[in-house]
A and B are shown apart, each in its own frame.
Chain A
Amino acid sequence: MNIDQWEDKIISYLEGDLESVMKQEITEAANKNKEIEALWISYRSIYNTIDNIPTAETCDTLKSNFGTFLKKEIDTQESKKITGNKVIAIPAWKKIMTIAAVLVGLLFIWNTNQNNQDINNNLAEVNTQLEQILDTKSSTEKIKVIRVSHDNQSPSNDENTKQLLVNVLKKDPSSNVRLAAVEALANYTNDDKIREALIKALMVEKDGFVKLALIKTLGSQFDHDIADTFEEIVNDKTNEKFIRDEVEKELFRHNKIES
């Protein structure tokens, strides 16, 4: 074998194309021939250096710029859908009925508000606190406020509370705080918007415990969208095995109920 052929063998070996017995042959040849030895050492060093080069970390601007772009695209898509729909003329009697229904509804809400003035006062206070917690540094304080938000007597009527909790789930850097937000949002899974927000959170969440809580919460209100998301998670082998197992368990449980 000439030196060029040895060079090819060494590369093939380092590429993982040759069997381990070849290493013995290469080592023996390198011991006998200085030129082959130099080739072997240099290639091994080059391959090691390639493996040692660290992954360059991306900066937050890249993610936030893409987030802004994506939001704009989604908004454009949504507005296209709206303008694409036909404008249907509503008959006058339907308009009157709608106004009447709204007035009855407002009267009912006003009446309920009167009865629950104290609760709402508390709720307003909780919402103010929730708004502020994204800026609070202590995770313990944040968790305390989130817990108060769903220990409240009638928080489910308040859209603001729900939205604030969704914001916490989306933005808070602490997994424990996000976990508390999932627990609180579990009270509202009959709300389509909340279910949608939980599905979105599950697709981007990195923390295993928060993921598990989201899977359990969504599993309790299983529907077509949730099934699709779950199937996507099971099929994606990059997800951790325990997550895929948990999702599979939920899918199996619901398939059994359906059959």
Chain B
Amino acid sequence: MLQIKNGEIGKTAVLFDRYHTSIYNYFMKIHRNKMISQDLTQNVFEKIIKYRSSYTDHKNFRSWIFTIARNANIDEHRKKRPTDACDDYITLSSKDDNAQVVMEKSEKSKQLMRALDLLPAEEKELIVLTKFEKMKFAQVAEILGMTENAVKVKSHRTIKKLRSILVNDIKYEY
């Protein structure tokens, strides 16, 4: 990233290869829409080039790129584009599972995504970052501008809320 900051913008291709799937998945979990997720992912990498001078090497790069992704997301929410949620990528397959088990797992995954949609945007984002992206609380704190402890407490509460929605509203069968 420091090389990009120093003007070697061609190196952004390396960062794109390394991070685009992760960023795309972050958007997919939030919007569940391929077209919007692709637009936003492209937008993030364009912004990396545009705002390269704001990067400082003491900052964790992953946190920095997700901060850009988050801002792109906030802009998208402001646009309020109509979306059709699409879960067709949640097609599980495993050599060890039979068809029925695969179907049950797929159904549970879809129920989980529906429950996520019922959470307020910031709680949904917290779950995506901590649970799906497996980010450390310290990294998430950097992205959300909160303390590490606050992220931990909020994440704890949100997972409780998610369970409650799953069990009581979605009728999730565990």
Interface of A toward B, CB cutoff 8 Å: 7-8, 11-12, 41-47, 49-50, 52-59, 61-63, 65-67, 69-70, 73-74, 77, 200, 203-204, 228, 232, 238
Q: Check B174–A67 contact: CB distance below 8 A.
A: no
B42: chain A residues within 8 A (beta carbon): 62, 65-66, 69
What is the bound-complex CA distance between A49 and B28, given in angstroms? 17
A44: chain B residues within 8 A (beta carbon): 174
Q: A11-B156, A46-B174 are in contact. Are A57 and B89 (CB under 8 A)?
A: yes
A selection of 29 A-B contacts at a CB cut-off of 8 Å is A11-B156, A11-B160, A42-B167, A43-B163, A44-B174, A45-B108, A46-B159, A46-B172, A49-B109, A50-B112, A52-B109, A53-B109, A54-B90, A55-B25, A56-B28, A56-B37, A59-B34, A62-B20, A62-B24, A62-B38, A62-B42, A63-B16, A63-B20, A65-B42, A66-B45, A77-B7, A203-B11, A204-B17, A232-B3
B12: chain A residues within 8 A (beta carbon): 70
B162: chain A residues within 8 A (beta carbon): 46
Task: Report the minimal beta-carbon distance from B2 to chain A, rounded to whole angstroms.
Answer: 10
The majority secondary structure among interface residues of chain A is helix
What is the bound-complex CA distance between A62 and B17, given in angstroms? 11
Q: Check A203–B24 contact: CB distance below 8 A.
A: no
Query: Is B139 positioned at the interface, with any CB of A under 8 Å from its CB?
Result: no
- Interface bits B125-137 vs A (CB < 8 Å: 1, else 0): 0000001100000
The residues in B between 66 and 113 inclusive whose CB is less than 8 angstroms from any CB of A are 89-92, 105, 108-109, 112-113
Q: Check B41–A62 contact: CB distance below 8 A.
A: yes
Interface of B toward A, CB cutoff 8 Å: 3, 7, 9-14, 16-18, 20-21, 24-25, 28, 34, 37-38, 41-42, 45-46, 49, 89-92, 105, 108-109, 112-113, 131-132, 156, 159-160, 162-163, 166-167, 172, 174
Q: Check B105–A50 contact: CB distance below 8 A.
A: no
* Interface contacts beyond A11-B159, A50-B131, A232-B3: sample of 11 additional A-B pairs, CB < 8 Å, sorted by A: A41-B174, A46-B166, A49-B108, A52-B108, A52-B109, A53-B112, A56-B34, A56-B37, A70-B49, A73-B49, A204-B13
What is the bound-complex CA distance between A143 and B92, given in angstroms? 38
What is the bound-complex CA distance between A49 and B87, given in angstroms? 14
What is the bound-complex CA distance between A115 and B108, given in angstroms? 75
The majority secondary structure among interface residues of chain B is helix
What is the bound-complex CA distance between A35 and B38, given in angstroms? 43
Q: Check A54–B166 contact: CB distance below 8 A.
A: no
What is the bound-complex CA distance between A43 and B16, given in angstroms? 35
Task: Report the minimal beta-carbon distance from B37 to chain A, rounded to whole angstroms.
Answer: 8
Chain B CB count within 10 A is highest, among A8, A70, A228, A238, for A70
The residue of chain B having its C-beta at the shortest distance from the C-beta of A59 within the complex is B38
Q: A57-B89, A62-B41 are in contact. Are A46 and B24 (CB under 8 A)?
A: no
A56: chain B residues within 8 A (beta carbon): 24-25, 28, 34, 37, 89
What is the bound-complex CA distance between A15 and B16, given in angstroms? 30
Q: Check B18–A58 contact: CB distance below 8 A.
A: no
The residue of chain A having its C-beta at the shortest distance from the C-beta of B89 within the complex is A56
B14: chain A residues within 8 A (beta carbon): 203-204
B112: chain A residues within 8 A (beta carbon): 46, 49-50, 53
Q: Check A200–B10 contact: CB distance below 8 A.
A: yes
Selected contact of A73 from candidates B9, B18, B38, B159, CB within 8 Å: B9
